Structure 1
């Protein structure tokens, strides 16, 4: 009778990474992409995992029998049994700023390669080792015991059998030995998993990190019975979610110079002395945005605490300049309201905070510049002018 007991390590760590980077070809696909390198089942059988939108990892946790497995054992825990954390578990991922989000994970499949003595000798002779494996356990390991489900794969030789089972529920799946098994080993732990990640559009740019720890061994999260003991009692998933946002504004050439004019031009004033109702100019721009941002003004000449002035350098008179913004569909204020001709105020304390409902890619917006009607009489009074100038800086800022 031969078996091995392996010294237990403190923990087995595995890294899970995901990336969000806006894709102009698919602007409505606002999801993280799992960038964790595949190993194990999905690496060997990628078609199975693509179809089911799952991922797999293989970790070097071995399970060794602590004693022989008797034929027709009464308790399933004396033989081959598998129970994994198939229900959703939550973990917190944290940004360096302290902001937190929630990730959910569940295990959707489990597998390994069991190794033992020559199975044809264990069953007292058989025509081939495939049949001997089936006789040893009463059926093929491809045909899974309930509630586990068939995965369609298996590979074997005289002393080993590689398998993978789907685990739709958190319950044990058992195989009863029909002959005595002096010793057995699972060479590794293979598992598939699903993730639910947060909405990246509401997250800050940068990395969010966190971890989720599972116990391994009898009565643990990964529970393979009382006989098959793991080389480590802890499996920790270390998560890193990388958020790479886009915030880009393109103003057409010459758009940085804005000339305000009355509706219909200056002819009514020049020819008939009709005072314009107001002066205005609309300036278009294209915006790409995948994250929250804010807009605010800075003034060369300040009027009130939140408005800019245009200044007549000759008479030293100033007139109020109002700035409004209209943003494309997909961008709203923080209450979810669309932004249509919304007033912008000067100064950081008066910033307008905005958020995307989906990735906005080079969509048109408008800045509206206006000298209001109440300023016109003052502006066109004798001795005023002739030129009013001023610099207004419009700021789009993703650091909020």
Structure 2
């Protein structure tokens, strides 16, 4: 910034709080875990900085994460009475969007703690007339040093000091002002940075498509009704807003495997053809149940494609001058539903998508079945005395996670 003129430099200082902003990215990931199929939650992938980086066990116990941002709160004059501080401890909502599908979801976030390192104009011992550094910090404030939070804020066990500085961190169970009253006047002071812990509520990833979902939430810094990180009228931040940019990465699994040789299916009566060949009764069913293995963590759809079809559920089979029909139905493992009900012998149709099929948890390599069968009316046309033939066709089953 050009500071060659004194009045330009002054103008820059006066406009910083309303013009400047701080952005921080918060990233979370969902990947299905075969060892924990019921764990349908996002994992926070934002590197901890500040409080949780220094005291990881404390944050792990409370399932919170922290970020330190370079925002400095400067006193506007002497601190003769005290400081009132409030942060957005209530849940806030924001909308995240998958730009590829335009799907939207709601994320909630709340601030569960805050802290900083205050820097005094002189040592606390000199300001209070004490000789011991810690005693100076304890005497400077009416309710002991800043390791002890003022209600409704709560103690976190964190405190570190030098002669002129004191690092603190307080938990914020509710959104309300926490006051620290001075016992001695302080000519000036500042908070070196802003350190806060946060908690997330994320949507159920099993109902989301794969991809990145993004959205932002902006907080005001300063004092007044529109400012969420409010350290009172006597402490002015050098940035006007804090924007949290959320990125939720959904990486679903959809995989279908056939056992060896499962791509070649032979239809025959139960017990084989020998009874019919030896002059026995016409078989009541000609079919084959082909198993497969499916892994799925999100909704998907299925479509059948016939080599030849008149449409609907039936594919045509040809051979030796004969023609017949075959239908395909599908059974899926427990944990996957269609319209809220288990999937049992669900009919598939030529070039018509069936779905959405929805897992209620991560299904990892569970067994499904494709039921191929010649309808009874087609059996009557096919099996004529003295006529033998081998009929075949190709049937393709397509599985797609883009629903």
TM-score by shorter chain over 0.5: yes
* Counterpart in the other structure of 2:273: 266
* Counterpart in the other structure of 1:46: 56
Aligned pairs for 1:19-34 within 5 A: 19-34=29-44
Q: Deviations over 1:39-59 (max 9, x none)?
A: 010000000000010001000
* Counterpart in the other structure of 1:376: 379
1:309 deviation in Å? 1.3
* Counterpart in the other structure of 1:357: 360
Separation of aligned partners in 2, 1:380 and 1:303: 21
1:27 deviation in Å? 1.4
* Counterpart in the other structure of 1:118: 123
Tell me the secondary structure at the aligned position of residue 253 of structure 1. coil
1:385 deviation in Å? 4.7
1:294 aligns with 2:307: no
Separation of aligned partners in 1, 2:135 and 2:374: 90
Question: Which residue, 201, 210, 227 being the options, matches 2:234?
Answer: 227
Aligned pairs for 1:1-400 within 5 A: 7-8=16-17, 9-70=19-80, 73=81, 79-96=82-99, 97-116=101-120, 117-123=122-128, 125-138=129-142, 139-219=144-224, 220-312=227-319, 314-315=320-321, 317-333=322-338, 335-348=339-352, 350-382=353-385, 385-400=388-403
Separation of aligned partners in 1, 2:184 and 2:158: 24
C-alpha RMSD of the superposition: 1.3
Distance 1:352 1:344, change over 3 A: farther
Aligned partners of 1:301 and 1:311 also within 8 Å: no
Normalised to the residue count of structure 2, the TM-score between the two structures is 0.93
Tell me the secondary structure at the aligned position of residue 150 of structure 1. strand
Aligned partners of 2:313 and 2:327 also within 8 Å: no
Q: Which runs of 5+ in 2 are unaligned?
A: 1-12
Tell me the secondary structure at the aligned position of residue 19 of structure 1. strand
Aligned partners of 1:38 and 1:56 also within 8 Å: yes
Tell me the secondary structure at the aligned position of residue 264 of structure 2. coil
1:25 deviation in Å? 1.5
1:177 deviation in Å? 0.8
Aligned partners of 1:344 and 1:352 also within 8 Å: no
1:311 deviation in Å? 1.4
Separation of aligned partners in 2, 1:128 and 1:311: 98
1:382 deviation in Å? 4.9
Normalised to the residue count of structure 1, the TM-score between the two structures is 0.94
Q: Which runs of 5+ in 1 are unaligned?
A: 74-78
Tell me the secondary structure at the aligned position of residue 80 of structure 1. strand
1:69 deviation in Å? 0.8
1:307 deviation in Å? 2.1
Number of equivalences = 384
* Counterpart in the other structure of 1:76: none
